[in-house]
Chain A
């Protein structure tokens, strides 16, 4: 069997790498984790260990060639090549299953630490383990129900002694096993839930996920799915959740369990920004290739206001408050198949043009499934623009581990009583701030919102006429 050796992703933003030197030649025997080639990227140079024991049978990318990450650079085979000097048979532990290509964006892909990266092969580690277990478990006699229960409860059936005919494992055997396991588990003291404090910056590289990730300690354990309450019939359709839907569900519930949510609503007069847009939008789009929507104005104002109210650009870790000195603003993007929150990194370094371009680019690539894993992590504050679908007021759910999220309602024309008691038609919008009351008190939240309102209503756009 041949295994692909691919150019590894050496960092979140690295897209390509150059092979400097091959340390092994065709026909050489390699052990797993033994360095096989050296690469250079714009961040690091490194020796790349073999992902798999076997024989190097083919090299596709020569020295000093540069290729995108995930390009296949060589093949390792667990069969002895005809010309191999070493005639030792390949170890029997060779995985039996090759999964479909592990795309960089697979949410479940194991997070590879940036130091000590192994060259990624397109073999899913989990599949390999399952496959070997299945092989060994062939002798276990059970039933469809028992196999499902084992899957749901994470039981290795080899641990259970069957009492059915011919040693078959029955439902009762599994239930008895679960009871014993539960009894054993409840006698063990639960480990403290407080995670170790991590340095505040830079954010640790994390598992790519559809939503910005939680700290490891916050990740909910996999919960066994209970059997569906719905029955097959004419009036319901039972559809398993997609990976994204499961992730969204898990993270929404996690957030509600983690933070006491409070939502405060402010009414903001967007007439000034509306006029700025009307005056500039055609020229802006022609010149910068991005639409001038309300959103860049709001992102800019939010970042400016966050500087004055650091508690809203923070997170809680254990008994510590982590104040973020950078402003990575997440923008919720609705997809036909779910929801994703790409992050504008260092929004504080961008002007209106840069923000408009970033928003447009991230949203387009989110819909085209072309976001990179590091573009959906590390947000420090999130904005959700449900107003684009017509909603006036919402109560958004905080994107953990952040502590606040701003919801933007539709901008609509409304009669408004002005300062001088006249009635005017103004472009109005309700902005909702949902905040984590563990960290942020109502007074702080409302002062933030007051300042945000003022910033928006008197927006200074040096880039625009």
Chain B
């Protein structure tokens, strides 16, 4: 059985959903003839034609705006941001228009806005963003970020079938590094449900996206070298996020680290920490610890980028401090 990469899983989801539902179409910059900057959409144009695989001008506001209009008329657009950093150009369409439409006028906006996010590939400040915190404070949006090929496919299918606007952040570092055996049958991964990636008893790491793999690497080392059993919770969905799963792991280990790749201050780890402090205070046996990128733009210099990002070493140090607390 051939292993499927994270990128190929996304591509499969697009093909399968477009075959399943003629209302699904893709639009974005260079997604047709060129097949997308990362080749996620390669082959779509050949199979589905230029009416359903639309190369757009370089205007993210126009892409998302057009997607909203098409959605109102019954279509299910999947808009690609060539790099997720550029989603800021569509910020108004997403936060003021798409997120509020159902509440303002009872019109659903079943769009997916997807694109490559994250650092670690020497992309510098414009091609490395993790933008979830920009949108966390926008009711009406949903946000997902898969960490595995299985979830990449299942969450994209769920996002396309969802009647609300869903931001789908695919981590470019994982595109070709993560591979797994996928089921042949149609499946989705429900939005709003987290997954325990590794069971443990001493400390919980709550994380998502590429950081799931960093957490797992740290957990394996800690188990081997320190006999510390770390539980790793992959949130998968960021909005809405799985409070029950979070509560379960906090009740189990009583010590929690929140790990994300976006920078620390104002990151969504603050929201998670606030929820835990409010609802699970009496289950805490130590402070809620955040591990995140340091508060600067993503450096272009490789040594600086390595210094900037969370890694297994930083996570292990945080776990050891918290276990001793």
A residues whose Cβ falls under 8 Å from a Cβ of B: 143-148, 164-165, 168, 170-171, 227, 231-233
Contacts and interface: CB of A to CB of B under 8 A. Distances in A.
Contact of B254 (A147, A165, A171, A233): A171
B243 A233 contact: yes
A240 to B, nearest CB: 13
6 contacts: A143-B254, A145-B254, A145-B283, A146-B285, A170-B325, A233-B243
A143 B248 contact: no
B244 A148 contact: no
Contacts of B254: 143, 145, 171
B248 A231 contact: yes
Contacts of A145: 254, 282-285
A170 B279 CA distance: 20
B281 interface: yes
B279 A164 contact: no
Interface in B268-311: 279, 281-286
B284 A164 contact: no
Between B282, B283, B325, the greatest number of chain A beta carbons within 10 A of the residue's beta carbon is seen for: B282
Contact of A164 (B243, B248, B251, B324): B324
B251 A143 contact: no
Nearest 9 Cβ contacts at the A-B interface: A148-B282, A145-B285, A171-B285, A143-B285, A231-B244, A231-B247, A232-B279, A144-B281, A144-B282
A165 B247 contact: no
A227 B285 contact: no
Contacts of B285: 143-146, 170-171
A144 B247 contact: no
A169 B115 CA distance: 47
A146 B284 CA distance: 8
B93 to A, nearest CB: 29
B286 A143 contact: yes
B193 to A, nearest CB: 12
A165 B323 CA distance: 10
Given A147-B282, A165-B325, 8 more contacts: A144-B281, A144-B285, A148-B283, A170-B285, A170-B325, A227-B283, A232-B243, A232-B247
Interface residues of B, number: 15
Contacts of B243: 231-233
B282 A165 contact: no
Nearest to B283: A145
Contacts of A143: 254, 284-286
Interface string B247-276: 110010010000000000000000000000
Contacts of A171: 254, 285
B324 A165 contact: yes
Contacts of B281: 144
B283 A144 contact: yes
Contacts of B282: 144-145, 147-148
Contacts of A148: 282-283
A297 to B, nearest CB: 53
A144 B281 CA distance: 6
Interface string B89-115: 000000000000000000000000000
Contacts of B286: 143, 170
Contacts of B324: 164-165
A116 to B, nearest CB: 41
A429 B279 CA distance: 51
A93 to B, nearest CB: 31
A145 B285 CA distance: 5
Between A147, A164, A232, the greatest number of chain B beta carbons within 10 A of the residue's beta carbon is seen for: A232
Nearest to B321: A165
A144 B279 contact: no
Interface string B205-220: 0000000000000000
Interface string B227-245: 0000000000000000110
A147 B281 CA distance: 11
Nearest to B251: A227
Nearest to B243: A233
Contact of B284 (A144, A165, A168, A232): A144
B164 to A, nearest CB: 16
Nearest to A168: B325
B288 to A, nearest CB: 11
A164 B244 CA distance: 29
A148 B282 CA distance: 6
A171 B322 CA distance: 12
A187 B102 CA distance: 67
B200 to A, nearest CB: 14
Contacts of A147: 282
B142 to A, nearest CB: 15
B189 to A, nearest CB: 19
A233 B284 contact: no
Nearest to B275: A232
A148 B280 CA distance: 11
A106 B277 CA distance: 33
A231 B243 CA distance: 9
A233 B251 contact: no
A168 B284 CA distance: 13
Interface string B118-129: 000000000000
Contacts of A146: 285
Contacts of B248: 231
A358 B196 CA distance: 62
A144 B248 CA distance: 17
A378 B248 CA distance: 46
Contacts of A165: 324-325
A11 B247 CA distance: 51
A52 to B, nearest CB: 34
A144 B244 CA distance: 20
A148 B254 CA distance: 12
Contacts of A227: 251, 283
A164 B248 CA distance: 24
Contacts of A232: 243-244, 247, 279
A397 B247 CA distance: 38
A171 B251 CA distance: 12
A144 B285 CA distance: 6
A145 B247 CA distance: 14
Contacts of B284: 143-145
A144 B279 CA distance: 12
Nearest to B248: A231
A371 to B, nearest CB: 35
Between A143, A165, A227, the greatest number of chain B beta carbons within 10 A of the residue's beta carbon is seen for: A143
